[in-house]
Every structure is written in C-alpha cells, then in structure tokens.
Amino acid sequence: MAGTSLTPVAQAEDGYDLWLRYPQADAPRSSGISAHATAIIATGNSPTLTIATRELQHGIAGMTGAKPALSATVQQGALLLATPASSLALPVKTDGLGDEGYAIRSTMVDGKAVTLIAANSDIGLLHGAYHWLRLAQSGESLDNLDIRSAPKIGLRLLNHWDNLNGTVERGYAGQSIWDWWRLPDWKGPRYSDYARANASIGINGTVLNNVNAKADSLTAPYIAKAAALADVFRPYGIKVYLSVKWTAPMELDGLKTADPLDPQVAAWWKAKADEIYKAIPDFGGFLVKANSEGQPGPQDYNRTHADGANMLASAVKPHGGIVMWRAFVYAHDNPDDRAKQAYSDFKPLDGKFADNVIVQVKNGAIDFQPREPFHPLFGAMPKTPLMMEFQITKEYLGQSTHLTYLGPLFEETLDADTYAKGKGSTVAKVIDGSLEGHKLTGIAGVANIGVDRDWSGSIFNQADWYAFGRLAWDTSLSADAIAKEWAEMTFSPDAKVVQPVVKMMMGSREAAVDYMTPLGLAHVMDTGHHYGPGPWVSDLARPEWNPVYYHKADANGIGFDRTKSGSDAVGQYAPPLAKLLASAKTTPERELLWFHHLPWDYRLKSGDNLWDGLVRHYDNGVRYVADMQTTWASLKPYVDADRFAETEAFLTIQHREAQWWRDASIAYFQSVSKRPLPAGSAAPAHDLNWYKALKFPYAPGHN
Ligand code: BDP
C-alpha cells in the first residue's frame, strides 16, 4: 500500500478477531475490493456455503463499508463460488484439487467478468473464500488472479492439552475454551469462532483433550459433549478426535486387564468406537500417549506399541477412523541417552502397524526445545506413515509473554534433510507421504489457545497458530512470507508497519535460542514449570530430568557427546548425515553442543573460543530483545493503543527475563568453567545462589 498517512485505529482492539479483522481499507484499496465483489453468487446450498458467503459479506463490508448482495444470476464483477455440480460451464478444471483445495481465477462466466472460486466441495470453496479475503486484507491486487491450491498433508490438526477440569497443560492463555461442564446444552459463540479461525488457515481437525487423558472423556456424557462440538465444527470442515487413556476399559468397566491381545479388551474398544461413531458419524479417531511419562500402555503387558495401536485401529477401522500413536516415549529404567529411546522402540516396529495407524513424532528427539535437530525417526521408518507434532504453545520458548515467532522453527524442521533416500529427502517429504508413497499423512500442533480474550495469551502468539496452519496446508511456504501475511492482516498492510514487525518476528526465535540455549544446548530450564533457567539442577529422581544430564558442563568443557565415543545417537541418522555430525567441525554450529562435548577453548567459526562464544550468544539474545523494544516503540503511531501497550509491556517482561536467563546461565557455567568473561561482557547482576533460590510455585500451565 502506498499510503503515507496511516491513521491509528480509533476503536479498541482486543485481539479477539485474530487475523480476521477486516478493517476499513483506504480509498484506492477499498474501491478495488468493491469492484471485484459487486455481488456474491454461490451456486448451491449448504451450511458450509452459507458460512463462506457470510464471511465474504462480512469481510467485504468491513473493508469497504458496503455489504455486497447475494445474487442468483451472474453479473459483472461478481465473486462466484461454484463446484462442478453447478449448472454453469466452469472455465477452470478442478482435477487435482482434492476434497479441500480450490482454484481462484479472474475469468469470464456467462459473458461476464467475474472472480471464480472453484472447488470440488463446499469446504474447498470455503478455503478459497478465505484465500480471497486474505489477499484483500493484505492489500494484494485482486486483478488477474490465477491461483490453485490444495494441501499435500491430509490431517492438519490441533492437539489440545485441555483437561476436563478446565485447566490446560502447558497452556498460557487462560483456561480451556471447552466448557465441558455446560456442554452439550450450552454451545457458546467461541466454538464457531474457533472453527472459523481454523478453517481460515486450513486446519481440518482437533483433538479435544490432553494426551495425558482421563478415561472419563470416553463416558457417555462426555461423548455427547464432544458430539456437540463436532456439530459446530462440521460445516467448517473440522473433525474431532479424542485422546484416550490406555486403561480406560479397566477404569470405566472393571475389566481385569488392558492387554491389547485380550479379546475382551478388543471387544470393549470396538463397542466404544461404535458408541462414539453413533454420536459423531465423522469422528476422526484416537490419539494415544502410551508407556510414556507414567501413562499406561501395551508394554505393561509385554506387548509392543504396534500391538496396542493395531488393536485400537481395528476398532475404528469399520468407521473410517484412524489412530495416531505417539512416539514420545522414554523409560525410567532405560539408561540409554533419552534422545535415542523413541527410535530404539519404534524403528524395529516399522512395517508392523495397521494401515490406519500413523505414528506421531515430535519435531525433535527430546521435547520441543528452543532448538533441536530433527527427530531421527523421520526417514527411518519408510513403511510407516509418520506425522509431525509441533508445539505451538510455548512451553520452552517464553510461555505467554516472549515474542518468539515459531515460523522459523517449523520451517527449519520441515526443510531439514534426512538423506533417507539421498539428498533432498526432507522432513516435509516424509510427512507429506511423497518420499515413500504414503496416503495417510498428518501434522499436529499442540494448541496455544485458551479463554483469554486474544485466544493465545498475546497478539504475537496468534502468529504461531497462524503459521502452523499455513505451513500445514503448504509446507513450502516460507516463515517470512507467512509473517508478512499475518502482520498485514493483524496490523495493517502498510509497509511502515509490516517491514519492522516481520523483521522483529523473524529473528525472535533465534534470539530466544541465544538467551536460553545457545550453540545446541537443551533442557536447561527449571524443573516442573519449565519457566526460567535451571542449568544447575541435578537432584531429580530420574537422570534425564536433570539439566546437568543434558549439558554435562565441567571444568574441561560442555556438551553431550552423541558421537560414537558417546551415546552414538548420531548413528540413528542416515549415513551421509551421520558422517557430518560425527565431527564437530562439520556439525552445524547451532547444533554443536547437542552432538559434541567440547573443551572450553574449542575454536568456533567466529574465531572465539567456545566459552567466549557462548557468552556472546547470550549477550546477542538479550540485545535482540532490546532492539525489538526500540522497534516496537517506533510503531506507536501506527498501532491501536491496546495492542501496542500489551506488546510493549510483554517486551519489557521478555527483556527482563532474557537478561535473567543470560545472567543465571553465565553465573552457573562460570562457576564450572572458572573462566573470565570476554571483554565487553557484563558480570551477572547477582551471584549464582540468588538465581538458584528463585521459586515459582504458581507458574501457569504446570499440572
Ligand atoms: C512435555 C510436557 C508434558 C507433556 C509431554 C507430552 O512437559 O506436559 O505431557 O511433553 O508431550 O513437553 O506428552
């Protein structure tokens, strides 16, 4: 947008509208939008089409001040939504668009110039409508459109770690949006607003309850509650799924065992699946956390994960359901490197899973750290569909207040090369099924949604939800392009706002890596709540719960040796990659200490020794946050007062906490390395004991 006289928005913005704000556009843009939406024509009739046309009318009315009429006949300049089932001769082929994709083209229909949104289904039309609105909101040209878009990944899901009592595990945006208590009778407006936001970015399913599941969610009253939500979500193209507790047959109906090979157990699950599908005919299926962090599972009966998954899979199979079986496992009695355990458990099961099972793998082998190398299971189970699990909620990345845009983290993992079938075997190709020809494909994001008015705990956290959805739809999008779209819709298409905002966002995750876990460090946060630093912690029951297990810092050096001389986790990667990672010199520096234990005077590419370089990373992280504060302050004239003030306050918190992370980490590592700080680096504000004494018994998100 050319405009130089952007006026601040007068009305208060509380973030509830997310990226679907549709504010009044300036004069040239608004008339451009009107010219391409003289009327809206939908050739068909369904709840989904009603949503699509209503959304278009609402959006266009917001941006132009005039609501386009619905019309039954094609007219010049109209927006026309049609499937091949309509009586019109469509000048656009819908082959290859699947059930959810769409085409948008500026074309002639019945002799009139129109913008045609074409799809094979009404859901495809809804997605197309949102795409058109995105263009309009971001100030893109609406002339000469010729767009085709279809998702490569089939299941694009949110995972809610929401508990039946309304709390959200690792949730930093308030209580759960599911009002289980008053469901199914009361279905508040949040539910359709939630579905609308998800549909606008292509998310097509949601797992309603925590992976640390209660059996109660499978009782009749709770099935009815889930069914009520499914009814709201259905016209938006969103299915519901449930997390299940392995021992539910014992807890709910007194079975003596939960052994997956016991016929009574299998019969129980079959009857339960039948009951669920009666209430929710398009129910998606089950998500399972088994034999992990104290959850029961088939291994308790000396059965494998495949035995367990396949038994559940056969229960949902007649209904077209699927099972998502999580690979997030590590056992207290296994002395092996925690980063190796999921691979060791699952790799031997490749080829043993039923065809409606998909194994859900976290992006990294430990646990959603600020940075982790991609999980070695990607590319290592060619016969098994694998789905990605990202964490959108920022358990380890500043929780609700830090501005740490996750787009670059998602992109880095999706673009990582597994070398499974030679160069270019990216993680994205593993999960979209193209590498091994799998049809069942998926990606999940642990939701960052709660009842906070702004849904996600901060305005900028909304960008992480947005980026997850956009990348799930199209893994080839760049984090940068997504940030730009988001900023245009969330604030304004004016480059004066967009450029600095995108710049802040794009470096923000790297800054958090710098002030929390530079150079490949991981898992150095304080216990339980995972809020703030605790690299000194060494007294927890299980070795792999302790930060000292992960950084292994001592007087000589720091880092986890995962090469042959250490745990040989490197050997779990494909040979060409394993070879690179075997040597510190050919390991990307950003993952250095993840794979190598190195002396403090190891020389980094910058010329600094490891100790000095480490300290400089901490300093850089803090400095980046200070720079974001300066940038944000300069945007005051262009951002509405409420959203400006919130972000300003949160950046102040982030700066204080970045400094705390830096100071506490340096105080601790210096107590071990006994080295002086490099020139220009300030001493921590307090001594180590001061940091160790900090306690946060009421930090949110912690069970
Ligand atoms: C960890 C969380 C824990 C989750 C677990 C999981 O700290 O709350 O239950 O992952 O993914 O990140 O199962």
Q: How crowded is residue 687: how many other Cβ atoms within 10 Å of its Cβ?
A: 11
- Least Cα distance to 416 among 280, 577, 652 occurs for 577
Query: Ligand 1 pocket, 395 CB below 6 A?
Result: yes
Question: In 37-98, at which residue ranges do the beta strands (DSSP E only) sit?
Answer: 39-42, 69-70, 79-82
- Least Cα distance to 609 among 664, 665, 673 occurs for 673
Report the pLDDT averaged over residues 61-82. 96
Which of 86-90, 370-374, 493-497 is least confident?
Answer: 86-90
- Least Cα distance to 321 among 271, 282, 352, 267 occurs for 282
Report the pLDDT averaged over residues 278-307. 97
Question: Cis peptide leading into 184, omega within 30 of 0?
Answer: yes
* pLDDT tens-digit readout, 429-477: 999 999 999 999 999 999 999 999 999 999 999 999 999 999 999 999 9
Q: With the CA atoms of 60, 64, 65 and 67 taken in that order, what torsion angle do they form, in degrees rounded to the nearest 10?
A: -30
Report the pLDDT averaged over residues 534-545. 92
Query: Ligand 1 pocket, 390 CB below 6 A?
Result: no
Helix axis angle, 47-64 relative to 27-35, nearest 10°? 150
Q: Superfamily assignment of 27-149 in CATH? A: Chitobiase/beta-hexosaminidase domain 2-like (3.30.379.10)
Work out which ligand 1 atom sits closest to the CA atom of 396: 12
Query: Ligand 1 pocket, 170 CB below 6 A?
Result: yes
Query: Ligand 1 pocket, 389 CB below 6 A?
Result: no
* pLDDT tens-digit readout, 51-65: 999 999 999 999 999
- Least Cα distance to 629 among 643, 646, 653, 648 occurs for 648
| Separation of CA 447 and ligand 1 centre (Å) | 13
Helix (H) or strand (E) holding 459: helix 459-473
Query: Ligand 1 pocket, 22 CB below 6 A?
Result: no
* pLDDT tens-digit readout, 597-656: 999 999 999 999 999 999 999 999 999 999 999 999 999 999 999 999 999 999 999 999
Nearest CA to ligand 1 atom 10: 367
Residue 348 in this model has a pLDDT that exceeds 50: yes
Query: Ligand 1 pocket, 545 CB below 6 A?
Result: no
Token digits for 636? 């005051």
DSSP letter for each residue of 500-536: HHHHHHHHHHHHHHHHHSGGG----BPTTT--SB-TT
| Separation of CA 472 and ligand 1 centre (Å) | 22
Report the alpha-carbon distance of residue 457 to residue 174 in Å, rounded: 7
Report the alpha-carbon distance of residue 442 to residue 326 in Å, rounded: 12
What pLDDT does residue 5 have?
40
* pLDDT tens-digit readout, 182-218: 999 999 999 999 999 999 999 999 999 999 999 999 9
What pLDDT does residue 168 have?
98
* pLDDT tens-digit readout, 563-597: 999 999 999 999 999 999 999 999 999 999 999 99
Report the pLDDT averaged over residues 1-23. 70
Share of the chain above pLDDT 90, in %: 96
Token digits for 664? 């506490």
What pLDDT does residue 333 have?
79
Average model confidence (pLDDT) across the chain: 96
End-to-end CA distance of the chain: 47
Query: For the whole prediction, is pTM greater than 0.95?
Result: yes
Which of 328, 329, 394 is the pocket-test mutation for ligand 1 (most atoms within 8 Å of CB)? 328
| Separation of CA 406 and ligand 1 centre (Å) | 18
* pLDDT tens-digit readout, 15-29: 999 999 999 999 999
- Least Cα distance to 391 among 363, 432, 358 occurs for 363
| Separation of CA 550 and ligand 1 centre (Å) | 17
* pLDDT tens-digit readout, 366-415: 999 999 999 999 999 999 999 999 999 999 999 999 999 999 999 999 99
Q: What residue segments make up the domains of the chain, in order of their start?
A: 27-149, 156-477, 491-558+598-703, 561-596
Token digits for 395? 């358990």
The residue type found at 473 is W
Report the alpha-carbon distance of residue 669 to residue 554 in Å, rounded: 8
Report the alpha-carbon distance of residue 23 to residue 556 in Å, rounded: 59
Report the alpha-carbon distance of residue 402 to residue 386 in Å, rounded: 31
Query: Ligand 1 pocket, 362 CB below 6 A?
Result: no
| Separation of CA 210 and ligand 1 centre (Å) | 10
Helix (H) or strand (E) holding 324: strand 322-326
Length of the chain as a residue count:
703
Instruction: Give the catalytic positions in this structure.
Output: 293, 367, 395
Query: Ligand 1 pocket, 289 CB below 6 A?
Result: yes
Q: How crowded is residue 461: how many other Cβ atoms within 10 Å of its Cβ?
A: 32
615, 681 contact by CB (below 8 A)? yes
Nearest CA to ligand 1 atom 11: 328
Nearest CA to ligand 1 atom 2: 170
Q: CA 311 from chain center: how many Å?
A: 29
Which of 168, 169, 360, 375 is the pocket-test mutation for ligand 1 (most atoms within 8 Å of CB)? 169
Residue 9 in this model has a pLDDT that exceeds 50: no
Nearest CA to ligand 1 atom 12: 367
DSSP letter for each residue of 662-701: HHHHHHHHHHHH--PPPTTPPPPSS-HHHHHT---TT-TT
Work out which ligand 1 atom sits closest to the CA atom of 389: 11
621, 513 contact by CB (below 8 A)? yes
Return the CATH architecture of domain 156-477: Alpha-Beta Barrel (3.20)
Query: Ligand 1 pocket, 396 CB below 6 A?
Result: no
DSSP letter for each residue of 581-608: HTSGGGS-GGGHHHH--EETTPBPTTS-
What pLDDT does residue 135 have?
98
| Separation of CA 473 and ligand 1 centre (Å) | 25
What pLDDT does residue 91 have?
92
| Separation of CA 614 and ligand 1 centre (Å) | 28
The residue to which tokens 């998100």 are assigned: 701
Report the pLDDT averaged over residues 103-122. 97
| Separation of CA 57 and ligand 1 centre (Å) | 42
Return the CATH architecture of domain 491-558+598-703: Alpha-Beta Complex (3.90)
Query: Ligand 1 pocket, 169 CB below 6 A?
Result: yes
What pLDDT does residue 11 have?
57
